[in-house]
Amino acid sequence: MISCNDNSNENVQSATSVHSKESLKILIKKYPDSLLLLQNLIEMYRNEGSYDSALALTDSQIKKDSNNAYLWNMKATLYFENDDTLNAINSLKHAVDIYPLPEYLVALGTIFAEVKNPKSLIIADSLLEANRVKSGADAMFIKGLYYTYTNNKKKAINYFDSSIHMDYTYMFSYREKAIALYDLEKYDEALNVLKKAVTVQNNFDEGYYWMGKCYEKLGKKEDAIESYQTALLYDKNFIEAKEALHKLTNDN
């Protein structure tokens, strides 16, 4: 792994408050072994949507340390957020081959599920076999996601239920269960799932967004508006919620 030089730790730590990319670049030249500085600069590129620059910087480090699983996982995240699923999968495969951390396996299984690849089920089973207590909720979520994308909503819901049973705070499973019910036109049932989700985590912006969509389908415009407003209260940059709210409030 890339690490900070012991005698420069104080200077490197101060980089967390640096806001200029140019300042960070200067510090990286001075402390080229600092993963912390590298992460900060990549995060700056990422936040401004400069994925090419973020990927180029990650690649430059991988050339120096090709067996660094963390860097490969970082690269996969950048590709995924930039809608390059194939390269995200390939990068995650490298990370898993080097160091099969459960979090890397979960990420790979999730992407496989989204592209309808049954390898997601194999990964889910391996997670269950390795540590059912720790990774069970993730494994059931991956299985549910696979069946959602292969249009077997009822089977998907059963797996999401299993995931929630294993970890009642697993927000992704609440969300996906609600979406599956929404797709089955069971809007009241979906709402009940989402209400439970936002009770468990009251700042769950996606939960409020999907509540809004359910209320719209049920003809409850004011409730839908309130739900979208709440979603934006917790994430002011939630584009879908902004668009939905704008449509409702400007609908004659």
**pLDDT 10s digits, 126-148:** 999 999 888 999 999 999 999 99
Tell me the pLDDT of the chain averaged across its residues. Answer: 91
Question: Per residue in 27-80, pLDDT tens?
Answer: 888 888 788 888 889 999 998 899 999 999 999 989 988 999 999 999 999 999
Give the CATH number of the domain where residue 216 resides.
Answer: 1.25.40.10
Look up residue 237 and give its amino acid: N
What is residue 4's predicted lDDT score, i.e. its pLDDT? 38
Q: What is the pLDDT of residues 225-247, one digit of tens each?
A: 999 999 999 999 999 999 999 99
Residue 164 covered by a domain: no
Which CATH number characterizes residue 26's domain? 1.25.40
Q: Residues of the chain with pLDDT > 70: what percent?
A: 92
Domain of 201 in residue numbering reads as: 185-252
Nearest-angstrom CA–CA distance, 247 and 250: 5
Confidence at residue 2, expressed as pLDDT on a 0 to 100 scale: 34
State which of 62, 82, 102 marks the end of a domain.
Answer: 82
| Predicted structure pTM score | 0.84
Residue 147 corresponds to which tokens in the numbers above?
A: 């069946």
Q: What whole-number distance in Å separates Cα of residue 179 and Cα of residue 172?
A: 10
Choose the final residue of a domain: 82, 98, 118. 82
